[in-house]
Structure 1
């Protein structure tokens, strides 16, 4: 049973916006992605998390028809991402992690070019988004900072009001105030019935906007969680200092206790709310000098549950391939 089936997949009325079924991509003997299945419903932001090199970008390139799967399928509103890529591109706005822009063209010229490819005039919408992001569309791309290049990629992705936004580290290099504006734009997109796949290696970034989060490690989808369900299982940091020495064995039997450490007279651990009563009874059976209990941040709790390495990991061949193009969604 896949994580999508066993960990609370969101059921939707009608057709799913995104459906990955057994999606697999191999490069020689290396499985960059292995049997990934998930769905994303209308109006949903799905946060796609994992350490660098885990398979996030490979998933995205398969979803937008830039790679052919070795097995399984990726579909957007029932359209096969590889066999019907032209039709899929009309439905998708794509922000790659490293936008590929035309250095000599201004932002306005990029907008005009992408509008031409889509056979529609999106200049008004592009100008509105650019103002909100504090982006000057009259400057050539070669003069833009990394953050402003990322803003331009966002403008090009959202200006056509696509049904699906595919976002690969979209706020990289963008300052926190502008990130808040981007999150507002994303919420407006989903309020209108659009959906988004938001890839990141930082849970705190997607926590503010995602409805569900999935974790990929070593090319496998290892967890799918609703944010509200994860918060309900919140961990508490517990630290106690006793007058006499204690042993870890005294507290190891409490169900749900994690990261238990005992150093002489000091105990520290993480415990779910359901375990606090049993843990406190054991603590209170000893003479206590000091005691602390506080709710752990959601990101720390998530990493504790699934053992996600916060440090950049080994980058697979699939992840190191450059992602070309700024905004997918033209007629092809």
Structure 2
């Protein structure tokens, strides 16, 4: 079941093209990663999904409803956490959480208390005294304590320490287990890789790769460390071999997927003493797409 659908979405600010023909969909019970550098178009896309911006062309729907025309009904069923939560300075964290839950009609005091304890939040302090990390905790507690069907999380762990990031990941996976859907925009590629079922990479307002991590890894290079009985001469000249470096452990190199068989045959003929293979990561893919490129979108 499709929860979120974006079709040929474009957004211009005057002559500036912020988004160009963006397409993506999120299914029920799926965690979808939305990644790209600052200015790639992630936040513009999310603002359109929240009904804050009107698209120039194309369409976007959540629960089958138009995000611009039916945003009020959509917001009753979603939870949004921004990268920097702005809270009412004179209210306590607990009062803000209760306000958000009351606006949604949610009543689950046990879950709220569990989240407050897990995130180590002091709900009695005024929001003006909170650090950035504690403001994020308030927003995350309010989101996960709700009965939302879709979570839109835009850099949600900004300001959190590694321990709290793990707590966040735990509750994202719990939401998935309950059949809820998550759109996660994050700079932390290891977090996206750990949590997400599918990923879309956006660059300069366009989706340049989309799919499961397994689908996308064919575009990345495998990292090898090789030590052989005979000198590994000529390996730099093999088509598909990159970044050959001599290390204490042996020769380190990156190999395109299509060249892996040829490289293994070559090193086998030289007598393998050591062979370590590291599978490509999301960071490898991301950096390969962004190497030498820049962007100025929002």
- Where on the TM-score scale, by shorter chain, does this alignment land: which range? 0.7 to 0.9
**In structure 2, how many angstroms separate the alpha carbons of the residues matched to 1:64 and 1:132?**
28
Match of 2:234 among 237, 246, 249: 246
Please state how far the C-alpha of 1:93 moved relative to its aligned partner: 0.2
8 Å contact kept, 1:214–1:225:
yes
Q: TM-score, normalised by structure 1?
A: 0.79
Q: Which runs of 5+ in 2 are unaligned?
A: none
Corresponding residue SS for 1:72? strand
Please state how far the C-alpha of 1:30 moved relative to its aligned partner: 1.2
Q: Which runs of 5+ in 1 are unaligned?
A: 1-13, 320-332
Please state how far the C-alpha of 1:307 moved relative to its aligned partner: 1.6
Deviation beyond 4 Å, 4+ runs, structure 1: 230-234, 239-245, 260-263, 287-292
Structure-2 change in CA distance of 1:309 and 1:234 (3 Å): closer
Counting matched residue pairs gives 293
Deviations 1:107-148 (A, max 9, x none): 121123223423444544322211121111111111112211
Match of 1:269 in 2: 253
Match of 2:282 among 299, 308, 313: 299
Deviations 1:134-175 (A, max 9, x none): 111111111112211111111122222201000011111111
Structure-2 change in CA distance of 1:179 and 1:260 (3 Å): closer
**In structure 2, how many angstroms separate the alpha carbons of the residues matched to 1:134 and 1:27?**
41
Please state how far the C-alpha of 1:50 moved relative to its aligned partner: 0.8
Which stretch of the first structure deviates more once superposed, 53-62 or 276-285? Answer: 276-285
**In structure 2, how many angstroms separate the alpha carbons of the residues matched to 1:310 and 1:148?**
36
Please state how far the C-alpha of 1:86 moved relative to its aligned partner: 0.2
Match of 1:184 in 2: 170
Corresponding residue SS for 1:208? helix
**In structure 2, how many angstroms separate the alpha carbons of the residues matched to 1:26 and 1:112?**
38
Structure-2 change in CA distance of 1:68 and 1:184 (3 Å): same
Q: TM-score, normalised by structure 2?
A: 0.87
Higher relative contact order (CA 8 A, sep 6+): 1
